[in-house]
Amino acid sequence: MSEQLHPAVLLIGMPGVGKGTQGKLLGKIPGLFHLSTGEILRSLRDDTDDGRLVADCLRRGQLAPDDLMLEIWQHWLAAEIEAGHYRPTEQVLLLDGIPRNRLQCERLSEHIDVLQVIYLNPHDEEPIVQRLRQRAMIEGRSDDADESIIRGRFEVYRRETAPILNFYRPEVIRAIDPMGSSAEVLKRILDVLSPVIVATRGSTNQFDDRNRPPDDAK
């Protein structure tokens, strides 16, 4: 992969706050490319050593080992560039699910230049628990089905991931309320993100119209 630093925006927040949903919506906007680490991990084949290890970590509500996580992430990013899906000179990388701890922040700083950290921060975690249990029923996600595992994941987040907010400059971190409809949350994010992306990659009519979210933001 190229040694250039890729301009990037991070979506940070505890499990269930909607990082994946917002990432997919934002990824439809010109100038942004969404790369979801969670989707990458869940796509790994169960008949490989990496796939079995990751699947076991997900079942127990634990994080995948750092070296493995970073290796998988770099491989996928290089593949997306080679396939022409991600165009580094035209798009800002939108990362959802990585970094998960300070070591990953340090290692990723060799590859990305963080322009903005979107911190999806709910005032109460109980609605998030219910959201995850509902997602488990709809999507068949075993890591969301057991409330004890959910709360364990919250503890892992508070211990491992929340402290990464101290790694980045305060001026690039913006807290966003993740509760409400997808369109409402998307509007809050775009109010913060639009000037950053336009300044970095130039203006597009579709991106500048912040009052018109993608059609599937319901």
- Report the CATH number that the domain containing residue 63 is assigned in CATH: 3.40.50.300
Q: Roughly how many angstroms between the first and final C-alpha of the chain, as a whole number? A: 37
Does residue 23 belong to any structural domain of this protein? Answer: yes
pLDDT at 30: 87
| Domain that includes residue 136, residue range | 6-207
pLDDT tens digit string along 52-91? Answer: 666 666 666 666 788 888 888 888 899 899 999 999 989 9
* Tally of domains within the chain: 1
Does residue 199 belong to any structural domain of this protein? Answer: yes
pLDDT tens digit string along 105-161? Answer: 999 999 999 999 999 999 999 999 988 988 878 777 766 678 888 898 899 899 989
97, 77, 74: which is closest to 21 by C-alpha? 97
Does residue 73 belong to any structural domain of this protein? Answer: yes
pLDDT at 214: 58
Does residue 216 belong to any structural domain of this protein? Answer: no
Does residue 214 belong to any structural domain of this protein? Answer: no
Q: Is the pLDDT of residue 28 over 80?
A: yes
